[in-house]
Structure 1
Amino acid sequence: MNVAICGCGWLGLPLAKALYKEGHNVYGTKRNVREANALNACGILGVPMQLPLTEDEQLSPLAAMLSSDVMVINIAAGRNSIDKEQHYQNVLSLSNAAYQSGCQRIIFISTTSVYDGRKGRVTEDDDVMPLTDSALTHVKIENSLRAQWGDQLTIVRLSGLIGEDRHPVKFLAGRNDLKGGCHPVNLIHLEDCVAAIVRLIGFKVSMSVLHLASDFHPTRREYYTQMAKQLSLPLPEFLPDDESSTAKVIDAAKTLMNLGYELKHRDLMLSK
């Protein structure tokens, strides 16, 4: 199967490598020629790509990648509100080019932050309730892709990604003004995320929206304090909570059951 991974970063690159090991013909995009060429050493067909795709001359070198059997859109957004609209236009231009080129299926990597306004347990069947510009942009992209691709689209909403060399506690260590200490964490290990998406690409599930999240939900205070101790980092300090938590808890049970996948990293208190 020909699979295109659009965005070979911290998630996209190990995903592309895993798909190559499974025997797929894998295209991977990077923003410049040097980084794209470096993918070839991993068995991945590196493709330099700058978004948005607006000119015919841009599309010609991308023809084989754009006509892949499956395209995974894993493009990171910018950090400010101006970038959010540009991010939407970038993804839409890629989707349009893939649609016109005969791509058969799209997997869009989204985020569980689209539920930030919801409280309690959240399943794949619940309506979104975005609160931030980033979450609003993701919902806007999801809706546009859904209108274009119909049942050829699968949306995968990820909780916070962690892995051996990436952990959010490193950004919280030593801070003394943190809010939401009683809120549950919603996280997923990179290894489980990659394995679940590889499984998804191998066969099409009936679900149009999937969640990738661990069923491990201690409070932010408990989790990040323990992780700071494990990693020998300054302890984060949370402000006193006024009430018990009613924040969201992402439930991925239906996704994991449909994929027939069992999480390898259930206890995320472990640093690896």
Structure 2
Amino acid sequence: MLKSKISIIGCGWLGLDLGKTLAKANFKIKGSTTSKHKIDILKAHAIQPFIVKLQESGISGDYSQFLTGSDTVIINIPPGLRRNPSKNHVLEIKHLIEAIESHAIKNVLYISSTSVFENKEDFPTITSKTRPNSTSNSAKQLIAIEELLKNNTKFNTTILRFGGLVDETRHPSSMLSGKKNVTNPKAPINLIHKKDCIGIIQNIIENNHWNIILNAAYPKHIDKAIYYTEDCKRKNLPIPQYDYSIKSKGKIIEVTTLVQLLNYHFAVEP
């Protein structure tokens, strides 16, 4: 039996596999991309493709057809501030919210990040009730978007903040391998495998967990230096060299609320 219709904004590293999984679970999936070469890839996985681009000046592409008829919209796009630090991502999302409102969407799932919380020397425990407090440009924009969405009364919003995203093809060990003076060696890790990201999203949608805020990371928080040293050894990669001269800053992402509310069991240890 065909389930509800879902529009996924951003079918990249996470969004494409998410769309594939939800399509196999009999949801009707529409997926947006900014690249024409991805059209056939989406089609091959039973995802109806649309070219949609969010810009400060508005939305371009066939966004109306992309949203029409869907019950749920999953917003899964990074702010893109590393490439363009001066970009106003909040304004881009404001245009999207207006479009969502005009298409009678019932539910919005916003994929945010645990980077909205400041790293500190005492490694604070972050719960779903902890107020975001990071002052970086990217974090401030994510926090502003979270506020816009959760205060909107025209649709239900769930905010899902992921820790560091990993899978077999994308892992921080590869980027840190062989580097020198790596900072925050004693900071606890907060990673989550893509398979669990998708499992949590599917759980939220299938069980209608709306109007909540959840943080998500694998509930094991060993020291950064210990974790990456061991992981690089396993993969026969050069071991990173750490800077212990400056006190480490970090945080611990607590996921008790998520585990209890969703009755969720993490599938993959990063």
Q: TM-score, normalised by structure 2?
A: 0.90
Answer with 81-90 or 116-125: which moved more: 81-90
User: What residue identity is the alignment partner of 1:69?
Assistant: D
Q: Over aligned residues, Cα RMSD in angstroms?
A: 2.1
- Residue by residue, what CA displacement relative to the aligned partner does 1:194-251 show, whole Å, maximum 9, x if unpaired? 01101111122265101111111110000011111111111101112555x6631001
Q: CA 1:53–1:134 in 2, change beyond 3 Å: closer, same or farther? A: closer
- Residue by residue, what CA displacement relative to the aligned partner does 1:10-44 show, whole Å, maximum 9, x if unpaired? 11011000100110000000003331243111100
2:192 matched residue in structure 1: 188
User: What residue identity is the alignment partner of 1:167?
Assistant: H
* 1:256 and 2:259 matched: yes
Distance 1:132 1:81 in 2: 15
Q: CA 1:94–1:175 in 2, change beyond 3 Å: closer, same or farther? A: same
- Residue by residue, what CA displacement relative to the aligned partner does 1:157-199 show, whole Å, maximum 9, x if unpaired? 0000110101011111111111110100000011011011011
- Residue by residue, what CA displacement relative to the aligned partner does 1:85-133 show, whole Å, maximum 9, x if unpaired? 4322222211210111111110000000111245421100111111321
2:89 matched residue in structure 1: 87
Distance 1:104 1:72 in 2: 11
Q: CA 1:81–1:231 in 2, change beyond 3 Å: closer, same or farther? A: closer
Distance 2:145 2:197 in 1: 21
Contact 1:11 1:190 in 2 (8 A): yes
2:170 matched residue in structure 1: 166
Distance 1:70 1:127 in 2: 26
2:226 paired residue among 206, 222, 229: 222
1:72 paired residue among 74, 77, 86: 74
Distance 2:58 2:194 in 1: 35
Q: Which runs of 5+ in 1 are unaligned?
A: none
User: What residue identity is the alignment partner of 2:216?
Assistant: L
1:41 paired residue among 16, 41, 44: 44
Question: Identity over aligned residues, as a percent?
Answer: 28
Q: CA 1:81–1:12 in 2, change beyond 3 Å: closer, same or farther? A: closer
Contact 2:184 2:249 in 1 (8 A): no
SS in 2 for 1:106: strand
Q: Which runs of 5+ in 2 are unaligned?
A: none
2:138 matched residue in structure 1: 134
Distance 1:23 1:197 in 2: 15
Distance 1:82 1:46 in 2: 26
- Count residues in correspondence: 264
Q: List 4+ stretches of structure 1 deviating above 6 A.
A: none
